A = this chain, B = another copy of it.
Amino acid sequence: MTVTTPAGFRAAGIPAGLKSTGAKDLALVVNDGPAFDSASVFTANRCKANPILWSQEVVKDGVVRAVVLNSGGANCYTGPDGFQTTHAVAEKVGSVLGVAPGDVVVCSTGLIGLANDRDHLLAGVDTAYAALSGDGGADAATAIMTTDSVSKQVVVEGAGWSIGGMAKGAGMLAPQLATMLVILTTDAVVPAADLDQALRAATRVSFDRLDSDGCMSTNDTVTVMASGASGITPTLPDFTDALTQACTDLAMQLLRDAEGADHEIAITVLNAASEDDAVEAGRSVARSNLFKAAVFGNDPNWGRVLASIGTTQAAFDPADLDVAMNGVWVCRSSTPDADPALVDLKPREVSVTIDLKSGDARATVWTNDLTHAYVHENSAYSS
Contact = CB atoms under 8 A, between A and B. Distances in A.
A299 B346 CA distance: 33
Interface string A348-380: 000000000000000000000011101110111
A63 to B, nearest CB: 27
Contacts of A372: 372, 375-376
Contacts of A382: 294, 299, 301
B46 A318 contact: yes
A371 B46 CA distance: 28
A197 interface: no
Contacts of A380: 297
Q: Contact size class for A?
A: 35 or more
A336 B336 CA distance: 53
B306 A112 contact: yes
Nearest to A376: B372
Interface string A317-346: 010010000000001011110000000000
B310 A218 contact: yes
A93 interface: no
B218 A299 contact: no
Contacts of A289: 213-215, 289, 370, 374, 378
A309 B47 contact: yes
Given A378-B290, A382-B294, A382-B299, A331 B113 contact: yes
Contacts of A297: 378-380
Interface in A290-325: 290, 293-294, 296-297, 299, 301-304, 306-312, 318, 321
Nearest to A369: B379
A288 interface: yes
A311 B178 CA distance: 12
A380 B370 CA distance: 12
Number of copies: 2
A111 B304 CA distance: 9
A44 B312 CA distance: 10
A311 B172 CA distance: 12
B375 A310 contact: no
A274 interface: no
Contact of A76 (B48, B303, B374, B383): B303
A195 to B, nearest CB: 27
A334 B293 contact: no
A84 interface: no
Nearest to A218: B307
Interface in A112-141: 112-113, 115
A318 B53 CA distance: 12
B307 A45 contact: yes
A3 interface: no
Nearest to A330: B113
A46 B112 contact: no
A307 B176 CA distance: 13
A172 B303 CA distance: 12
A231 interface: no
Interface in A268-296: 287-290, 293-294, 296
Given A47-B321, A113-B303, A215-B307, 14 more contacts: A45-B310, A45-B311, A46-B310, A77-B335, A79-B333, A79-B335, A112-B306, A172-B290, A214-B287, A214-B288, A217-B307, A290-B383, A293-B379, A297-B380
5 contacts: A47-B306, A215-B290, A216-B310, A218-B310, A296-B375
